[in-house]
Structure 1
């Protein structure tokens, strides 16, 4: 168990450092957004570029990983939506936010550092790139489109299907401006043509990439400061169970059923699915007035994630 804690412990120690530093007044909680912008706009794109540009396209594009990751997430999202809608009677938007919380992992800020502790940055970078493709092109647009179908940008009197299509179109336009997508596309282009950056530029990109893990974990910890679960514990408990247990189990089932892939990628896809929800979860929920529930769920899931991730790593290493 000591060797397992040596993997998960550093992740949560840096996360706790961000929480303590913000709680103690060294940073303001609002400043975490500035650090988050740095990670999203500079560090993560550099990391994704490095992960893809230094390998052949055949090494990176692993369809089994993509199907397992996407399939497990879609099952978890459907479970979350059905539970919230049919069991608790929540609105369409609240149900979509619950489904998003169960199915959209924080692959960049927590998943990558954890997989890097297990297998090093090479495997973690490839897994992150594939996860980002699924998240940005499928999971987030779908969840947001379902949530926006309660209101959406379609004309008044339009059908729910028309509102979903309008929301999907809006999500598609957002992808064009997503710097992480830019890093993925640039990495694939350099890989395809065998290009290399000039050495000074490559070293600068590498410096940005190396800062990803520490800064991203500090952001998550600092963002949790000041959040309280309160009377939302029932929603928090179900979303946390869905994210930390149901989602990785659904992904693991697909890993068993699908054709085999490299052992490290098998572990990476399950670990990526098992981490808490994405860091901007409360921000995405804010548009529909569900940010309090999302923030409380993020806090509870992140804290509980230390125990579930430690147990998962122990089991997978065995």
Structure 2
């Protein structure tokens, strides 16, 4: 148990430092947003490029991983959407936000730092594959459904096309394309360029955690406890359980990648979740869900790491 605490405590200490920095006004909220922009637009893309060019391309684009994590995530998305529509009787725009919150993990800001401490270098590969699933499938689908449900007059097809068109400007997708191109062509990067990429990549994990902490300061839940707790339960329990069952069913799978998938699924939802909520008129719901899920994830991630170590899941010897 002490080994697990030694993994999770530094993660949440860095989140706490970010929270403290904003709470004491050592750093202003706009500066946190600037740091977040650095992580999304530079540090995480550098991390992905570094990972893709340092290993054979066939090791990176693991079809089993894409199938296992992708299918589990899509199932959770569908179940969450149905639950919100049929059981909670929510409108389509709110239901799509339910589904996004339960199935869209914070792979870059929380999932990767934890997974890197647990499995090492395979965490970068898992992060790149997760971001393919999230950016090409889950986020566009959720936003398209929300667009249709927000009474904006858009058809589902139009909303999907608008979401897909924005992918061409997404730095994560661009970095994946660059990394894959370099890996396929086998062209070595000049040493100064690789060093610059390496330095930015190294800054990704601690800066991301600091940003999460700063973002949490000032968030208000405003009586959204029931909805937020249901979304948190789906994200922190149902999503990891679905990934666990899916990877247990897959034959002869890399144990390190399987453990990484479970850790990523255990992370809270996307840090931009409240921004999506604000866009469709439900900022309080998404803010409450993000704050509650992030706080509770300290316990749930620790519990999942304990289960992995105690029951030797996937035969992983960390």
Common fold: TM-score over 0.5: yes
Shift of 1:152: 7.1
CA distance in 2, matches of 1:282, 1:151: 16
Deviations 1:204-237 (A, max 9, x none): 1100000000110011111110112231000111
CA distance in 2, matches of 1:16, 1:77: 30
> What corresponds to 1:313 in structure 2?
305
> What corresponds to 1:15 in structure 2?
15
| Pairwise CA RMSD | 1.2
CA distance in 2, matches of 1:88, 1:134: 27
Check the 8 A contact 1:244/1:305 in 2, yes or no.
yes
Q: Which runs of 5+ in 2 are unaligned?
A: 311-318
Shift of 1:89: 1.6
Deviations 1:53-87 (A, max 9, x none): 11111111111111111111112212221222122
Check the 8 A contact 1:251/1:273 in 2, yes or no.
yes
> What corresponds to 2:191 in structure 1?
199
CA distance in 1, matches of 2:21, 2:15: 10
Check the 8 A contact 1:152/1:167 in 2, yes or no.
no
Shift of 1:187: 0.7
Shift of 1:31: 2.4
Shift of 1:151: 4.1
Q: Which runs of 5+ in 1 are unaligned?
A: none
> What corresponds to 1:141 in structure 2?
140
> What corresponds to 2:25 in structure 1?
25
CA distance in 2, matches of 1:74, 1:29: 34
Whether 2:273 is the aligned partner of 1:281: answer: yes
Whether 2:206 is the aligned partner of 1:214: answer: yes
CA distance in 1, matches of 2:81, 2:173: 27
CA distance in 2, matches of 1:76, 1:31: 35
Whether 2:126 is the aligned partner of 1:127: answer: yes
> What corresponds to 1:6 in structure 2?
6
Aligned to 2:4, the other structure's residue is in SS state helix
CA distance in 2, matches of 1:51, 1:200: 17
Shift in CA distance, 170/114, structure 1 to aligned 2, threshold 3 Å: same
CA distance in 2, matches of 1:270, 1:22: 31
CA distance in 2, matches of 1:41, 1:83: 35
Whether 2:262 is the aligned partner of 1:270: answer: yes
Check the 8 A contact 2:111/2:263 in 1, yes or no.
yes
CA distance in 2, matches of 1:144, 1:260: 35
Check the 8 A contact 2:119/2:259 in 1, yes or no.
no
Normalized against structure 1, the TM-score is what?
Answer: 0.95
CA distance in 2, matches of 1:273, 1:313: 12
> What corresponds to 1:85 in structure 2?
85
> What corresponds to 1:36 in structure 2?
36
> What corresponds to 1:103 in structure 2?
103
Q: 5 Å matches for 1:157-306?
A: 163-306=155-298
